[in-house]
Structure 1
Amino acid sequence: MRASSLGMTLLLAAPAAAQDAGWRFAVSPYLWAPGIETSVGTQWGPVDLDLSTSDVLSDLDLAFMGAFEARNGRWGLIADLFYAKLSQGRANPLGPLFARGRVETTAKALSGYVGYRVSETERFAVDALAGFRVTDLAVDLSLSPGALPGQRLGVSGTWVDPVIGGRARVAIGSNGFATALADLGGFGGDSDQTWQVVAMLGYQFNARWSVQGGWRWFSIEHALEGLDVETDFSGPLLGLTIRF
C-alpha cells in the first residue's frame, strides 16, 4: 500500500519551464483502481491469485494516493504515499488439496526522493531521483477445506529500501503535457526487489491547477515471516495538482 513514491507523481506533474529562485510547492491527491496479482509461498506450493481492475471497480475497492513536492531551482524534495486494501479468491488454488483460496492484501508505501533536474528546455525536462521507500505489507491467506483441513496464514512486515529512478515531462501543445516516472529498489535493502512505473497525460488550466490521468504499476517481492510474497499492482489513476 504501482499504480503513480510520496513525491513521484507530483514531480511528474511539475512544470517544465525554468523557475525563479525560491521554494515552490505542489500537492496532488489521486484515486487509483489497481488490479492485483499475488503469489504466496506455502509448504504445499505457491498460491497464485489475481484480481482485475474491473473487479476492483465493481467491488469499489480503491487505492488512494497523495503526493507532495517542494522545489527550489534544479533541486526538489518529493514524497509519494499510497494505501490499498484488496481481496481476491479462486477455486482449487493448490489442486484438490483445498477447495478455495482467498487472499486479503493491505499495502502502504511511502517513497521519498531528492530530485535533481539534469536537463531542461522550454518544453522538456528530465529529473534524476534517489531516495528510499518504506513499505508496510500485510497478507492474510485463507484456504478452505479440501483433501486437507482448512488453513489460515497471516503474515506482515514493515521495511525500508533504497531506490533510484528518473522522471521526464514533455509539453503537448499549449496546455497539455505527458509525464513518466520509473524507479527501482531493493538492492542492498530488505526487499528482493521493488519497482514502479507511472505514465500520465495531463492538462494545465493555469499556473496553479492541473489534472492528470494515466496508469501506475507497482511491484514488491519480499519474504514475510519465512513466506515468499510477490505482489503486483497495476491500474488507472486520476488526480488533481495544486501549486503554490
Structure 2
Amino acid sequence: MISLKKLLTITSFALLSTTAFAEGAINPIPVIGNDWRFSGTISGWAPASWTTASASRLSKTADSSISDNLNSASVFAFLTAEAHKGDWGLMADLVYSQMGGSGSTTKYIPNKDDLPNSLYAGQNTKIKETVLTFAGTYTAYRSGNIYLDALAGIRYISLTTSLDANAKLTVDGSTYPISPSLNKSFTNQTTDAIIGFKGRARIADSSWFIPYYADIGKGPGSNTTTWQTLVGVGNAYSWGDVTLSYRAMYFGLDSRVAAIKSLTAGPQISATFNF
C-alpha cells in the first residue's frame, strides 16, 4: 500500500507537471452566462478518522490513521457534480467508503496425547459509510479574482456496521462450535439541513487559485450535527482544473444503541472536468 509521503509526492508532481500543458494563464474564475455549464469532479481522499461512541455513561473513542484507513478500505468513491445557469446552480457530492477488518486468536491447551486441544475465536467487521450532499447554489459575488457561491441544501448520512463472529473448541482432533455464529448488522442514518458557501480566489492574475468550501448543518436529534470544510491550491486548464486540498468532515448520529461522533480529515487530490 502506498505511503502518505509517496501519495503527496505523486499528487504534487501531477499537479505541477500538468502546468506544462496549460494554454497560457487561463482565468480560473467561472464565466456566468445564460447558457448551462456543467462540471464533474473525481477525487482521491486519504483521511485519518476519529470516532466516539457513547451509550449511557460509557464512551469509547477509536482513532484510525491515514495508513490504517488506506489498508482497510476495499471500496470507495468521492464524486462531485455541478450544474449552473446564470447565478443559480445545483450541486451533488458523494462520499462512499467500505472498510473491513478481521482478527482471530487461538489458545492451545496442553494435552498429554499427541492430538492438540485448542480454543479459537475469530471475527470479521465491515463498516459502510455513505454521505450524500445536495444543495442549491447562488452566486453571491464575482469579480476577476474572486468567485463566491452561497449554498443551502441537505446532507444524508448512513453508517452501517456488520459483525461476524464465531468460536470453536478442538478436543482430541474433533472440533465443536461453542455457540452459533454471531451475525449482526446495525445502521444509523440521518438527514440534516445545511447552509454554507464555496468558491475560489485567483492567485496573482495567473491560472493558479485557492479553492474553498464550508458548510454546517443540524438534524432532528440532539447529536445529529454536521459540518464540512475544504481549502487548497489548484491550477486551471482549458478542460477543467486540478486541485490539491485538505478536506475535513464531521457528523453526529443518534440511535437507540449509542450516539456516534465522527471526524474525518486528510489530503485530497481532485480533477474537475468542465462541459
TM-score (norm 1): 0.77
Deviation at 1:104, TM superposition (A): 4.8
The answer to whether residue 156 in structure 2 is matched with residue 134 in structure 1 is yes
The answer to whether residue 247 in structure 2 is matched with residue 225 in structure 1 is no
Deviation at 1:238, TM superposition (A): 1.0
Q: Given the superposition, is the C-alpha separation of residues 66 and 191 from structure 1 closer, same or farther in structure 2, using an over 3 Å criterion?
A: farther
Q: Which residue of 2 aligns with 1:240?
A: 271
The answer to whether residue 189 in structure 2 is matched with residue 176 in structure 1 is no
Question: Separation in 1 of the partners of 2:265 and 2:99?
Answer: 12
1:111-130 residue pairs with structure 2 within 5 A? 111-130=133-152
1:93-242 residue pairs with structure 2 within 5 A? 104-140=126-162, 154-173=185-204, 174-188=206-220, 192-206=224-238, 208-242=239-273
Q: Which residue of 2 aligns with 1:39?
A: 52
The answer to whether residue 117 in structure 2 is matched with residue 85 in structure 1 is no
Between 78-87 and 177-186, report the one with greater CA deviation.
78-87
Question: Separation in 1 of the partners of 2:222 and 2:134?
Answer: 17
- Identity across the alignment (%): 25
Question: Separation in 1 of the partners of 2:162 and 2:58?
Answer: 16
Assess if the C-alpha contact under 8 Å between 1:50 and 1:88 holds in 2. no
Q: Given the superposition, is the C-alpha separation of residues 187 and 138 from structure 1 closer, same or farther in structure 2, using an over 3 Å criterion?
A: closer
Q: Which residue of 2 aligns with 1:52?
A: 65
Please tell me the root mean square deviation across aligned C-alpha atoms, in Å.
Answer: 3.3
Greater Rg by CA: 2
Deviation at 1:103, TM superposition (A): 6.9
Assess if the C-alpha contact under 8 Å between 1:87 and 1:102 holds in 2. yes
TM-score (norm 2): 0.69
Assess if the C-alpha contact under 8 Å between 1:85 and 1:107 holds in 2. yes
Q: Which has the higher helix share?
A: 2
How many equivalent pairs are there? 219
Higher relative contact order (CA 8 A, sep 6+): 1
Deviation at 1:30, TM superposition (A): 0.9
Gaps of at least 5 residues in structure 1 are: 1-13, 90-100, 144-150
1:45-83 Cα deviation digits (max 9, x unpaired): 212111011332355567421000001111110110110
Q: Which residue of 2 aligns with 1:147?
A: none
Question: Separation in 1 of the partners of 2:70 and 2:251?
Answer: 22
1:25-36 residue pairs with structure 2 within 5 A? 25-36=38-49
